[in-house]
A = this chain, B = another copy of it.
Amino acid sequence: MIVVLTAQAGEQEKNQVIEMIERAGLRVHLSQGIERTILGIIGDRELAASLALEALPQVERVVPILRPYKLASRDFHPQDTVVTVGDVQIGGGKVQIIAGPCAVEGEEQILTAARLAKAAGASILRGGAYKPRTSPYSFQGMEEEGLKLLARARAETGLPVATEVVDPRSLELVAEYADILQIGARNMQNFLLLKEVARAGKPVILKRGMSATVEEWLLAAEYILSAGNFQVILCERGIRTFETSTRNTLDLNAVALARQLSHLPILVDPSHGTGKWKLVTPMALAGLAAGADGLMIEMHPNPSEAVSDGPQSLTPENFAHLVEQVRKLAIALGKELG
């Protein structure tokens, strides 16, 4: 941590800052430049970060040097983490496709979706039973009934099931039915939910918040890792920008960057990332080329009758077409469709 003093800061004001740092049990490395005095803080990162030095008028700014996450970093864990769900491996040279409707709407819908997903080449089924919706007047999910239908679809197709958790109170119930627990973008910084989900002992898909920096995303992962659950899968799903011709801006820079900063496997969700089914296939391919370990795709037996996210859902035909293109691309990238 580097502390830059203002140009006006005098000897006494400098000493006040040094004293504050030393009183906290940290050491100071002084660098007297021509125009600015800089203090380097040496010692425990968290302790240094807890000092409110910027509250002092003689401090111009404080620059953190070390990254604030540890367990999520490649420095800590240089090898790629591979998360295993049944016989499905996420990370480690495989490309996995998680597919299914936005929401579970009924038995026929989810069973049909599961069969079609599997037939086309998906390895995991998705479907929401608890739906966070922008409007209180929108469909909020089938809840436990939806979880049961997901379990039925798994029983029939053998596909493991990924579904979203939205509340610590229903977490145990969801964990009973699901193979992978998903934290949605809106809950990426619901820190209590992160701590709880860590304790459920199942793999967790952690979606990036729509205005979360990569650093905040990895810190959210750190909440789960530091609570003892290392089976964390990152998922980029689009950020909010000034561009409104797409629902979100799928940020593939973040995928390439997170791959370098972290050892955790990474998925890309081009359905939410674009909000437009016509853009899902090119952005799915782009996501893999950027380095993702898999895709999360909204596919519905009949998108125009979907109760949610129809406009970004692929038809079964378009989904099968996407999988074919993914298969070819994976080989060119030295990977293999899982």
- The complex places the Cα of A253 from the Cα of B287 at a distance, in Å, of 11
Q: Which residues on B sit within 8 Å (CB–CB) of A186? A: 189-190
Q: Are B282 and A291 in contact (CB under 8 A)?
A: yes
In the assembled complex, the CB of A204 is this many whole angstroms from the nearest CB of chain B, namely 14
Interface residues of A (CB under 8 A from B): 2, 4, 7, 20, 29, 31, 33-36, 38, 40, 42-43, 45-46, 49-56, 63, 65-66, 68-69, 75, 132-140, 166-169, 186-187, 189-192, 210-211, 213-216, 219, 222-223, 226-227, 239-246, 249-257, 259-260, 273-274, 276-279, 282-283, 285-291, 300, 303-311, 313, 328-329, 331-333
Q: Which residues on B sit within 8 Å (CB–CB) of A51? A: 304
Closest to A69 in B: B135
Closest to A62 in B: B311
Q: Are B274 and A253 in contact (CB under 8 A)?
A: yes
Best-surrounded residue of A192, A216, A250, A290 (most CB of chain B within 10 A): A290
- The complex places the Cα of A333 from the Cα of B219 at a distance, in Å, of 36
In the assembled complex, the CB of A10 is this many whole angstroms from the nearest CB of chain B, namely 15
Q: Which residues on B sit within 8 Å (CB–CB) of A257? A: 245-246, 276, 279
Q: Are B55 and A304 in contact (CB under 8 A)?
A: yes
Q: Are A215 and B31 in contact (CB under 8 A)?
A: no
In the assembled complex, the CB of A48 is this many whole angstroms from the nearest CB of chain B, namely 11
Residue among B49, B53, B223, B311 making CB contact with A52, cutoff 8 Å: B311
Q: Are B2 and A63 in contact (CB under 8 A)?
A: yes
In the assembled complex, the CB of A183 is this many whole angstroms from the nearest CB of chain B, namely 12
